[in-house]
Each structure stands twice: as C-alpha cells, then as structure tokens.
Amino acid sequence: MSYRIGALGPEGTYSEKAALLWIKGRPQASIVYFNDFEGVLEAAAAGRLEAGIVPVENSLEGAVTTVMDLLLRLDVVIVGEVNVPIRHCLVGQGGNVKVILSHPQALAQCRQYLREHYPEAEIRTTGSTSHAARLAQEFPEMAAVAGADTALKYGLQILAREIQDASDNVTRFIVAARKMAPATGRDKTSLVIYLDKDRPGALFSILEEFARHSINLTRIESRPSRKGLGDYYFYIDLEGHVDDRAVGIALAAIKEKAAMVRVLGSYPRA
C-alpha cells in the first residue's frame, strides 16, 4: 500500500529530511512537495495524503506560530513527531555575497552570524532553504542559508559551516493525519485550551488538574486568539495518551473549567 507524506519543498529542505526519517522502513512511501506549510496540512486534512510533516518548534527560535494556528483551524491530528538536528551552512557560488536568502526561521536561527560577518548584505526571505539554494544557483552575488546536503544537491560551494547561533539547534517536526494514533505506552498528547474569561487563577486551576493526577507537562505556549488584546489560546504538551486513565480524568475535569479543550493528537514520543 502506498504511503504519501507531504513536506515543504523543493527537494533538499529540512522538512524533507524529517519526512525521510519518518518513512524509513516503508518501501512504498513517497514524498509530495508543497510551497508552504498550509498546503501540506490542507492536503492531509482533505485526505489527498496519508500524512503531512511540518515543523512546530525550534530550540533557538521557539514555536513556528503559523503551524500552531493551522493545527487549530484544520481538521487534522498529530500522529507522530521527529526531532531533526539543524546544522546551517552559508552556501553559494563563491562570489562577492551581496544578498543572503533563506526561510525566515533559518535566517532567525543565524541572526548573530549574519550580523557579524555580512552586515552590509541584503537579507531576503524565501519559501524554504532549498528554494533559497536554487536561487543562489542563478546569481553569483547571492548566497543561501541551508544544509550541507542541500549545497551538494544544487551544486553550490559551502562558504561557511555551523553558522547557527547555538550549536545545539534542533527542530521538532510533527506528523499530521486524519486519524488518531493508538496508545503505545510511551506517548505524548497535544492540546489547545481556551479559557474564555480572564479571571484570577484561571490558568492555575487548569494546570492544577494535571499536577493532581501526576501528569508531566513538557510544553506550554500561548497564542493570541485574535478576539481581543490579552485573549489567548494555550497550547499544552503532556506525557501520556488520551486513552490513559489519568489523562482522561484530568481532561474531563478541565473541560468543566475551560470554554474549549481540543485534543490535537496523542502520539508516540520521539
């Protein structure tokens, strides 16, 4: 049976690298490339793919907010995660670099290096690191922030290695599909919670339920609800599966206190 997974393209992106890790051992699997994260997740939600893979957070720059918003809006669930070490290089034809291109996340992760070594260069954003590398093929004054393997794929020189602002740079990718993954005993659950009314102790009362049932939280982020200033959705990752008894009891109690609780998925931990 064929297995199609969507990823940000063109070939050579870190998303492709994450997808290759996810489909390892699936001989019938193939990668379908998209121009943006929205296209990946919309195709997964519509059932045109078996799954889509997108980055959700980076150890240097934090949450990929576009993806967080899409997870709330689209009818998909997270069925897995892949952690990918990110090792950025500056790649190009070796000319006098006047323009540096890459995906906004990659540029942000190399902000300090670019400011110190190329203060006069024009910084431009592209749809992906591999798209930047492809453009750098065409113009000698252009360089791209991308991976070493992407430089090889597009016939570019590696002008500098390890240019990210910290050596321990990891991006967490999530795999999204239409059907919840079964429990494995080593799972993680992702939620979105909306409190509706900002009252004293409202968030504490939610977090208290997790503590009461000895559920470990691995991440908590807030995103504007777009309903007004100071109004937020809370994204929470916790250890356990929705089918686990303790998680189920905690969620039932939280649903009595919050205006909205949505399970974004329960899936094996990376």
The yes-or-no verdict on residue 21 having pLDDT over 70 is: yes
Beta carbons of 66 and 37 less than 8 angstroms apart: yes
Length of the chain (residues): 270
d(CA 250, CA 164): 40
Predicted local confidence at residue 230, as pLDDT: 75
- For the chain, what percent of residues have pLDDT higher than 70? 99
pLDDT at 167: 87
Of 85-99, 115-129, 184-198, least confident by mean pLDDT is 184-198
Residue of higher predicted confidence among 1 and 62: 62
> Is 89-160 the same fold as 3-86+169-177?
yes
Q: What is the pLDDT of residue 225?
A: 85
> Domain 187-268 adopts which CATH fold?
Alpha-Beta Plaits (3.30.70)
pLDDT at 197 over 70: no
3-class SS of residue 239: strand
Is 171 among the catalytic positions? yes
* In the predicted structure, residue 198 carries a pLDDT above the cut 70: no
Tens digits of residue pLDDT in 139-159 = 999 999 999 999 999 999 999
Domain 3-86+169-177: CATH architecture, name and number where available: 3-Layer(aba) Sandwich (3.40)
- Report yes or no: 109 and 163 within 8 Å, Cβ to Cβ: no
Which residue's entry shows tokens 């109690």? 253
- In terms of pLDDT, which residue wins out, 97 or 203? 97
Is the peptide bond preceding residue 55 cis, with omega within 30 degrees of 0? no
DSSP string, 5-57: EEEESSTT-HHHHHHHHHTTT-TTEEEEEESSHHHHHHHHHHTSSSEEEEEEE
Select from 100, 104, 135 the least CA-distant residue to 116.
100
- CATH for 89-160, among 2.40.37.20, 3.40.190.10, 3.40.50.1980, 2.60.40.420? 3.40.190.10
The candidate with the shortest Cα–Cα distance to 187, out of 218, 220, 222, 221, is: 218
Tens digits of per-residue pLDDT, 112-132? 999 999 999 999 999 999 999
Distance CA(165)–CA(224), nearest Å, equals 28
pLDDT tens digits for range 207-216: 999 999 999 9
Question: In this structure, which amino acid lies at residue 138?
Answer: E
Residue 228 pLDDT exceeds 80: no
**Of residues 13, 129, 171, 189, which has the active-site annotation?**
171
For the cut 70, the answer to whether the pLDDT of residue 53 exceeds it is yes
Q: What is the pLDDT of residue 259?
A: 92
Instruction: Evaluate whether 196 touches 259 at the Cβ level (below 8 Å).
Output: yes
Which of 86, 117, 118 is closest to 103 using CA atoms? 86
Q: Note the pLDDT of residue 196.
A: 72
Which one is catalytic: 173, 189, 210, 234?
173
Q: Report which residue type is found at 20.
A: L
| Best CA proximity match to 132, nearest among 104, 95, 160, 163 | 104
Whether 200 shows a pLDDT value over 80: the answer reads no
User: Across residues 68-83, what is the average pLDDT?
Assistant: 97
- List the chain domain ranges: 3-86+169-177, 89-160, 187-268
Can you point out the beta strands (E) in 178-243? 187-194, 217-224, 232-239
Rounded Cα–Cα distance for residues 259 and 59 (Å): 31
Question: CA 263, CA 80: separation in Å to the nearest integer?
Answer: 14
Active-site annotation holds for 173: yes
